[in-house]
Amino acid sequence: MTVLQRVKSITHRICEQSKPTRDVYLDHLREAASRKPKRSALACANLAHGFAACSPSDKAALAGDVIANLGIITSYNDMLSAHQPFETYPNLIKAAAKEAGGVAQVAGGVPAMCDGVTQGQPGMELSLFSRDVIAMATAIGLSHDMFDAAVYLGVCDKIVPGLVIGALTFGHLPAVFIPAGPMTTGLPNDEKAKTRQLYAEGKVGREELLESESKSYHGPGTCTFYGTANSNQMLMEIMGLHMPGSSFINPGTPLREALTREAAKRALAITALGNEYTPVGEMIDERSIVNGVVGLHATGGSTNHTMHLVAMAAAAGIKLTWQDISDLSDVVPLLARVYPNGLADVNHFHAAGGMGYIIRELLDGGLLHEDVKTVWGGSEGLRAYTIEPKLGENGTVVREPVAAESADKKVLSTCKQPFQVTGGLKMLKGNLGTAVIKTSAVKADRHIIEAPAIVFDSQAALQDAFKAGKLDRDFVAIVRFQGPRANGMPELHKLTPALGVLQDRGHMVALVTDGRMSGASGKVPAAIHVTPEALDGGIIGKIRDGDVVRLDAEIGTLDVLEDPEVLAARPTPDVDISHNSYGMGRELFAAFRNVVGKAENGASVFGL
């Protein structure tokens, strides 16, 4: 098969396995679309509540069904750099809506927490669950049925996937996602990582570490490394939910504001009141999901999306599996080198050609579905996104074809000369269960690790052992009871500096965990999202110190090399995890921990 044939074959498989659930979803969508918001048919008290705080002119407009009303779902808060820029967006959107002959209202806010702040803290155990809370908060905001379309203001890790799930639940409404962009370049990410390792070794103090971190995370916008937040922005553009070229424009710039105004007007143009009705639930189909997965592989994106994309797809009735994601990785080349998969940050990525270049290269290589619907509309499909946005003389957005060649071939390459022939994200299977691994930043001589296990029940325990000098050897770190049911599946980035130091000392080390590492995982091989998790009786819970574990990222296996009968006979360990159930709001999420699904099914509480 050619590459295009293989991509189409996997897409066909996804369509076939999705047909029962997708058909039901589309039936529900069309039923909702047939009702449409009928504001003038609402009881007078209902409608009066809906526009009580509006201006007289907006009240008059909303009294009938002719003027489109745009709902704004916002993740604004002013503590977190990525969300702070959204403070000014509602007024921009309302003004743009008025210019377009419509009305806009803030329909609701959703929580937006930062894994960077909660890393290694109890609050991190709410992080993954926040995605589903965001989806539910989105539904509450839109449940008033006052809107003809919605725009979604979100950027970071769980926020965008949660907004997408919420938007697809209201799939009869058009949806446009509006980003805030990355912060400007600060201290290079590799220098920040070196300081973290020096701190882990006790060679620099807290003052030096804080200075380094503050120079890296220094202003409004997303963090500049290619983690989940910036992977989100890539996904929204390659799936056609952004205005073309809008993902990586810095906050507070005239072009950023022009793109926001344009997005608001476009959302009003694609409602059922006009001639370009584009309900998001029909726009996002199996081809759009495959395009997202292809983009994730080609750019070396976040492993968090092995769960988020599964959950997002399920919200549209589409069944995406880890096997689908892994099979696509086998045919998609790595075209970008962005930290931790390189030295560049997302600003360098954008300057080198960015999303326009990546999309064109993948289209020309037969790796993307071109004939998809997008919020931009028109007959070009995804080809319309092969551009570079610029600010026109009148303050509007103008778009030019993206440059023929990469402006920095160390950052962006071609399908003919990729940095790596596969996407570097692989599914692992073996007697340990199922897991995923990201190898794009891992050197080839570390793709296979076979070593004795050292078992930990928390990341703090591993850090303590490192500080005590007990880990200067070859080993596979087993960090268990970190799955969705055990404690909400926190990210375990506090492990990265210690394991990185040990690897730099020449030891063969790897991590195997039922927890997460996400897009900031780097040079140490890490088999993550192990399913079944330890609390579900997974074999990861039965491994003992000294058991030999083999991780093979080349053929995709993950095994503990012990007699199967011996493993089966071992009792499930009696580990006290009661401390995960209280403090920092964790009490409120007991129901989530009880019903959450497996990582391979999206780690969702919605029964997906």
Which residue ranges are tagged as binding site for [4Fe-4S] cluster? 156, 223
DSSP labels, 25-44:
HHHHHHHHHHH---GGGS-H
- Rounded to an integer, what distance in angstroms lies between the CA atom of residue 465 and that of residue 501? 13
Question: What count of other Cβ atoms lies within 10 Å of the Cβ of residue 328?
Answer: 25
Where in 87-229 does DSSP place strands (E)? 103-109, 149-153, 175-178
Core vs surface per residue 353-373: b (16+ CB within 10 A) or e: bbbbbbbbbbbebbbbbbebb
| Separation CA 182–CA 346 (nearest Å) | 7
Strands lying side by side in the sheet with 69-74 = 103-109, 69-74, 149-153, 175-178
Residues 434 and 187: their CA atoms lie apart, in Å, by 37
Cα separation of 208 and 155, whole Å?
Answer: 29
Contact 462, 482 (CB under 8 A): no
Q: Check if the beta carbon of residue 114 is closer than 8 Å to that of residue 82.
A: yes
- The answer to whether 169 and 135 are in contact (CB under 8 A) is yes
Q: Which amino acid is present at 263?
A: A
| DSSP letters for 343-355 | SB-HHHHHHHTHH
Greatest C-alpha distance within the chain: 76
Residue count of the chain: 608
In this structure, the strands spanning 425-430 and 433-438 are antiparallel
Q: Indicate the residue type of 555.
A: I
Which amino acid appears at position 488 of this protein? G
State the alpha helices, DSSP H only, in 300-402: 305-315, 322-329, 346-352, 354-364
Contact residues for 302 (Cβ-Cβ < 8 A; gap 6+): 226, 227, 228, 231, 296, 518, 519
Q: How many CB atoms lie within 10 A of CB 274?
A: 14
134: phi then psi, degrees, rounded to nearest 5: -60, -40
**Residues contributing to the annotated binding site:** 156, 223
Check whether the bond before 484 is cis (ω within 30° of 0). no
